[in-house]
Structure formats: C-alpha cells, structure tokens
C-alpha cells in the first residue's frame, strides 16, 4: 500500500490518450507500407513500361556481341600468274571493351602487355579510341608468335574480354623482291581512319601503305562481314544470332615479270639506283628495281623500334628511285636531236664541227673528252655523245623550242603510272620557273646545259625509259602502267607527230652508239641487234650519276631497259651499260626458253 501511495496521480484523460496512440502507430505503419508499395510499383512501371525498350536494349548489349569478320585481302599476281602477295594463317588478339567495367581493364591490360610485349599505353589508347561501351572487338596485335598464342590460351581466365582467333595476314613469298612495286600493308593511322571511316574502314583495319597495295587498295580490300553472337558473363559464345559473310577482295594481276624483276635487282646489286624495263608498244612495266630496299613481311607483325629506325636510315630504303628525279645527262640528247630537226633549222644530214669547248659570255662549256671529235653528223654526235655538237644546236634553236619538245616527250609531269602518289614529276625549267625560284632571266647558258640533260633539268628513270620508247615505237609516247587489265584493248599511247626523218635519225644514232660508240659493250652476238644511249651526269658535291638506256630487237623493239646508278662515279657506258646487258640477257633467254617450250 505504501508503494501505491507513492505513485503520482494520473488523470483519466491521459490514460485515454495512451490507448489512442496504439491505434495511431498501426495507422502510420499501414500508410508507410502503402506508400512504399506504391513507390516500388511506380518504379517498376517506369522500368518495364516507360523505359522498357531502353532497358531491354541495355540487357541485350551486355549479352549480345558483334564479332566483325575481316575480309580476305585479294592476291597480287605477276603477269605469268606467280604470287607476289598472298595470305597466310596467323593469330590475332582483340579486346571486347564492353565485357569489363572501366576499373577492371588496367589489370587485364598490364597482363596482356607482358604477354604481347606491347606497351600498355598503346593498348589503353586503342580501348579509349573505341570507347568502353563499344560492343565491337578491337584488334590489338596480329601475326603473334606461337609462344604468345600459347601463353594467351593459358591465361584465358585472367584475361576476360580478350579474344584470340585465327586470321589471314599478308604474306610476301619473295621477301624483298619487287618490294617497291608491291608495297606493304599496315594498320590505319589515326588520320587515315578519319578519312576512310565513311568507306567502311574501322579501328585496327589494315590497308595498303605503299606500291600496288596502296594503288589498288579499293580492289584488294574487300567488305567487312560480322556475326551477332550471344555470350555468357565470361564472354564465351553461347549461340550465333546472325551472320553476314565478309566479301573477299578481288585479285589483281600486274604487268611485272617476277623473273625479269629478279634479274634487274641482281644486276643493280647493292648499288644505290634503279633499273626500269617497259614494253615500248604498250607501256607495260616489266620490271622496276630500286636499291636500297626492304622486306614488306616485317609489317605483317608489330614492327620493332630498331627496325623502324633502320627503315628511316640515311640510305632511304622506302624511296623508289625509279620514280625520283635526277639530271638525265646525255640520254636527253634524244630530245635535243628531235627538237633540232623538227624546228626546221637543221637538216637531218647536217654535219657540225666539234671542239674541246665552246665559250659563251666568258664561260667555257667543255666537251666530255676535253678534245672534241672533229666533224660529226647527228648520228655520229649521238654515238660519241659529243657535248659541243649539241651546245651549238641549242644555241641556234633556242630555249623555248627545246623546252616545248621536252614537254612533248612527257617530261615535267607525272607519267600516269598507278604509283602516282610516290612519283616525282621531275622538272622542265623555263623562263617563268627561273624568275620565280631564282629571280633570274633565262640565258643562253641555260639552253646549253639543258641540251645535254644538265643544268636544272630533272627526270626519273621511268620518264627516261618512256623517252626511249618514243624512237623504239616510231614516235609514240606511252603511258607506263602496272595493272595487266586487258591491256591489248586499251589506248596506252599518243603520237608525238615526229617526222619520219627525225625518227630515222634517232634510229641511226642510237644504233651507232652500240656498234661503234659509247655502248659497244652491248654489241654482243648472243643478243638481237639493239640500240641505246649512255649518259653521265654531274652531281656535285658527290660523284657523278651513270645512265644507260637501250631497246631491242632493233627492228621490232619489244623491251626498253634503263639503268641508273646514283653517285657511282663512273661513266654510263662503263657502269650502267653492263646492268642493261644483264637484264636484256635475262629477257631474251626467257623468250628463247618460252619459244622452245611451245608445241
């Protein structure tokens, strides 16, 4: 009772509220539950109905993968059907960006970098270029070694999002043979990708970078295909949902004869320079050799820093010297002779005295033998390559006449060969060019120098071969070409409209070079009669360049061969003529073998 008496007094009204609070708690719980269920319902409605299509697409993106199929590149054949560039089976490594969250990729990239010996920054750059949400595979390395392929297979569980697959890569069965003609393939640069993305090219795609591989890229490349596949959480393919076959690139056949090319490169040896052989009837390029050279196979795998430094060396192995311009020297006397007779100022039978030198404006322009050759006709002057004979011709006909004929022969512009991106136009100097570049007037000394292919005159070995084709085919300028595309039905030549008298003088002079002039080393019994011309170009501050061009058989020419030796230090008749001889021997030996094998 004492305890009860000590309790405070509680009014009845307060006791009544305690009972009411219990009902209020229940009400609040019910209200909260209703609100929560409503909120979940609304969110579910939004996800399934309002945003249903988008979310289903995201779910599909996480389980559906687009696997691109690279098209097989077309094969390049020589004129006789021998493979110049084909394909071999190798392994390619690619990554699937969407397979992993962004924060998981660094670990995979570091592991992949060690196996492939590819800098992690390079892989990271590819990944960022594609985007972390990309569902397309991105090529990281191709042509990997068997050891690398084995290592990747062993580390499969540690390399999620990485794919190892078999793929055809470019193969050049002849190594560095005809490398400058064939070219090489390589992955698109960032600039190339921007320019070609609209054409269907993609990150990591392979394109022709030089030579025929580049010139005929649109034909050789083909069209991408692909598969839409369903994958599990580890990126393994569960099923194929759709398949678009890749369309292989088309094969092409070049005019090059690989055996004649082999002979040309052997004749050139390890001498900086070029050898070009063309058919003067059509302009078909039969051989185009340049040294130094390179092996295009090195670009089918990841090139090392040391290899790249070597390829960028001082001797410029990438440079196709057949398409680079140099002073054409006395081979150019073919043009000067044509200009003289066509001008009407010289009769085809003209005879002129020659001298140790000719003095003009206080300057002595000497003959190459420092003595002169006595009286000479046009054929005789070509046979002995008399400089003072042609100096006199240039002084009389004048610069504009000589320049006009030079351009008629096709000098000063690209020949039209498919390798135009690598070809120099050369240079035909004139009054306007000299004023613009040297702020000087054209003087008679410029005409004198130009008459013997010196001064500012520049021509490529291919242009010089084109020049020899004019007398060989009786007055037509041909368009050199590499694609053997029904060539007998194509119009590859244009008349220079030279008179019969001019053509006859050229025939006589070029033949006398061989029978009794500077090219007597080619006057051999085992070859058909041929015609030609030597040239030795001054090339300060280095040694002189050597030239020789010839065509055969003399009566019905079917091949022109021009050899050029850069800074050789010797005369054209001694240095370049033996190269031409070796190529002609190979050509006519093959011709004889083919005739003997015919039924």
Across residues 210-227, what is the average pLDDT? 90
Domain ranges of the chain: 65-253, 258-295+315-597
Across residues 331-353, what is the average pLDDT? 98
Q: Is the dihedral of CA 265, 268, 271, 273 positive or negative?
A: negative
May I ask the CATH architecture of the domain 65-253?
Alpha-Beta Complex (3.90)
pLDDT for res 85: 97
Give the up-direction half-sphere exposure of residue 338: CA atoms within 13 A in the CB hemisphere: 29
Considering the entire predicted model, what is its pTM?
0.82
> Among the listed ranges 121-125, 214-218, 458-462, 595-599, which one has the minimum average pLDDT value?
595-599
- Identify which of 414, 359, 387 has the alpha carbon closest to the alpha carbon of residue 215: 414
The per-residue pLDDT of the chain, averaged, comes to: 86
CB atoms within 10 A of CB 88: 13
Q: Exposure string (b/e) for 352-369, b if CB count within 10 Å is 16 or more?
A: bebbebbeeeeeebbbbe
Residue 202 to residue 227: CA distance in whole angstroms: 16
Across residues 115-144, what is the average pLDDT? 84
Give percent of the chain with pLDDT exceeding 90.
Answer: 58
Planar angle of CA 131, 134, 137, nearest 5 degrees: 110
> Among the listed ranges 43-52, 239-248, 374-383, 519-528, which one has the minimum average pLDDT value?
43-52
Across residues 249-265, what is the average pLDDT? 97
Q: Residues 332, 369: contact at Cβ < 8 Å?
A: no
Q: Exposure string (b/e) for 328-338, b if CB count within 10 Å is 16 or more?
A: bbbbbbbbbbb
Band (126; pLDDT cuts 50, 70, 90) = confident
pLDDT tens-digit map of 563-575: 999 999 989 999 9
pLDDT for res 174: 97
Band (596; pLDDT cuts 50, 70, 90) = low
Residue 17 to residue 3: CA distance in whole angstroms: 25
Highest averaged pLDDT of the listed ranges 48-62, 161-175, 311-325, 344-358: 344-358
Residue 447 to residue 405: CA distance in whole angstroms: 13
pLDDT tens-digit map of 499-552: 999 999 999 999 999 999 999 999 999 999 999 999 999 988 889 999 999 999
> Among the listed ranges 50-54, 351-355, 495-499, 549-553, which one has the minimum average pLDDT value?
50-54
**Does the pLDDT at position 56 exceed 90?**
no
Structure tokens at 273: 């320079």
**Does the pLDDT at position 55 exceed 70?**
no
Q: Can you list the positions of beta strands (E) in 191-333?
A: 206-208, 225-231, 237-244, 252-253, 273-278, 285-291
Across residues 118-134, what is the average pLDDT? 86
pLDDT tens-digit map of 67-121: 677 788 999 999 999 999 999 888 888 888 877 888 889 988 998 888 888 889 9
Band (26; pLDDT cuts 50, 70, 90) = low
Band (37; pLDDT cuts 50, 70, 90) = low
Residue 572 to residue 165: CA distance in whole angstroms: 55
The residue that leads in pLDDT, 491 or 355, is: 355
Strand partners for 86: 171
**Does the pLDDT at position 33 exceed 70?**
no
Across residues 491-499, what is the average pLDDT? 90
**Does the pLDDT at position 362 exceed 80?**
yes
Residue 78 to residue 425: CA distance in whole angstroms: 27
**Does the pLDDT at position 281 exceed 90?**
yes
Highest averaged pLDDT of the listed ranges 17-21, 51-55, 267-271: 267-271
- Identify which of 289, 264, 83 has the alpha carbon closest to the alpha carbon of residue 173: 83
175: left (phi over 0), alpha (psi -120 to 50) or beta: left
Planar angle of CA 276, 282, 288, nearest 5 degrees: 15
Highest averaged pLDDT of the listed ranges 107-111, 113-117, 127-131, 274-278: 274-278
pLDDT for res 168: 80
Band (339; pLDDT cuts 50, 70, 90) = very high
pLDDT for res 15: 45
pLDDT tens-digit map of 377-402: 999 999 999 999 999 999 999 999 99
Residue 555 to residue 561: CA distance in whole angstroms: 16
**Does the pLDDT at position 269 exceed 90?**
yes
pLDDT tens-digit map of 399-455: 999 999 999 999 999 999 999 999 999 999 999 999 999 999 999 999 999 999 999
**Does the pLDDT at position 222 exceed 70?**
yes
Planar angle of CA 363, 366, 371, nearest 5 degrees: 140
Across residues 248-268, what is the average pLDDT? 97
Cα dihedral 45, 47, 50, 56 in deg (nearest 10): -140
Question: What CATH class does 258-295+315-597 carry?
Answer: alpha beta
pLDDT for res 3: 37
Strands 559-565 and 285-291: unpaired
Planar angle of CA 499, 380, 554, nearest 5 degrees: 60
pLDDT for res 345: 97
């Amino acid at each position: 009772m004492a305890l009860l008496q000590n309790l405070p007094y509680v009014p009845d009204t307060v006791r009544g509220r305690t009972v009411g609070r219990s009902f209020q708690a229940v009400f609040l719980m019910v209200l909260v539950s209703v609100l929560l269920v409503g909120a979940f319902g609304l969110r579910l409605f939004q996800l399934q109905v309002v945003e249903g299509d988008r979310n289903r697409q995201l779910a599909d993106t996480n389980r559906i993968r687009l696997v691109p199929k690279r098209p097989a590149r077309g094969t390049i054949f020589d004129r006789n059907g021998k493979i110049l560039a084909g394909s071999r089976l190798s392994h390619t490594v690619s990554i699937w960006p969407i397979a992993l969250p962004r924060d998981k990729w660094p670990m995979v990239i570091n592991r992949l970098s060690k196996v492939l010996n590819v800098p992690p920054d390079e892989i990271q750059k590819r990944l960022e270029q594609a985007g972390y949400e990309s569902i397309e595979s991105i090529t990281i390395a191709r042509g990997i070694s068997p050891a690398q392929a084995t290592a990747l297979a062993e580390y499969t569980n540690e390399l999620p999002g990485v794919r190892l697959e078999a793929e055809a890569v470019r193969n050049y069965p002849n190594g560095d043979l005809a490398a400058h003609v064939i070219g090489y393939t390589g992955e698109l640069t960032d600039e190339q990708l921007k320019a070609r993305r609209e054409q269907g090219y993609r990150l990591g795609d392979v394109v022709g970078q030089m030579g025929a591989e580049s010139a005929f890229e649109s034909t050789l490349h083909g069209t991408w295909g692909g598969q839409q596949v369903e994958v599990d959480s580890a990126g393994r393919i569960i099923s194929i949902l759709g398949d678009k076959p890749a369309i292989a690139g088309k094969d092409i056949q070049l005019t090059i004869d690989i055996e004649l090319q082999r002979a040309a490169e052997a004749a050139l040896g390890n001498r900086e320079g070029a050898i070009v052989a063309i058919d003067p009837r059509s302009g078909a390029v039969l051989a185009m050799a340049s040294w130094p050279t390179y092996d295009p196979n090195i670009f089918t795998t990841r090139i090392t820093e040391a290899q790249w430094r070597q390829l960028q060396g001082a001797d410029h192995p990438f440079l196709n010297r057949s398409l680079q311009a140099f002073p054409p020297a006395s081979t150019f006397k073919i043009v000067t002779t044509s200009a003289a007779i066509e001008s009407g100022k010289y009769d085809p039978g003209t005879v002129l005295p020659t001298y140790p030198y000719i003095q003009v404006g206080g300057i002595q322009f000497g003959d190459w033998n420092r003595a002169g050759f006595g009286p000479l006709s046009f054929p005789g002057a070509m046979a002995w390559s008399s400089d003072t004979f042609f100096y006199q011709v240039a002084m009389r006909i004048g610069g504009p006449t000589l320049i006009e004929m030079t351009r008629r022969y096709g000098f000063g512009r690209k020949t039209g060969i498919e390798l135009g991106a690598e070809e120099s136009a050369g240079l035909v100097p004139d009054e306007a060019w000299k004023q613009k570049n040297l702020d000087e007037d054209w003087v008679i000394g410029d005409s004198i120098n130009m008459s013997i292919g010196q001064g500012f005159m520049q021509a490529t070995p291919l242009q010089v071969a084109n020049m020899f084709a004019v007398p060989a085919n009786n007055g037509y300028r041909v368009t050199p070409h590499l694609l053997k595309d029904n060539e007998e039905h194509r119009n590859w030549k244009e008349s220079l409209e030279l008179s019969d008298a001019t053509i006859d003088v050229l025939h006589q002079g070029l033949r006398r070079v061989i029978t009794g002039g500077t090219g007597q080393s080619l006057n051999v019994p085992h070859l058909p009669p041929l015609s030609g011309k030597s040239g030795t170009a001054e090339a300060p501050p280095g040694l002189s360049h050597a030239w020789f061009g010839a065509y055969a058989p003399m009566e019905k020419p079917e091949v022109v061969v021009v050899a050029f030796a850069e800074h050789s230090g010797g005369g054209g008749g001694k240095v370049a003529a033996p190269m031409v001889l070796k190529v002609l021997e190979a050509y006519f030996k093959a011709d004889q073998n083919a005739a003997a094998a015919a039924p």
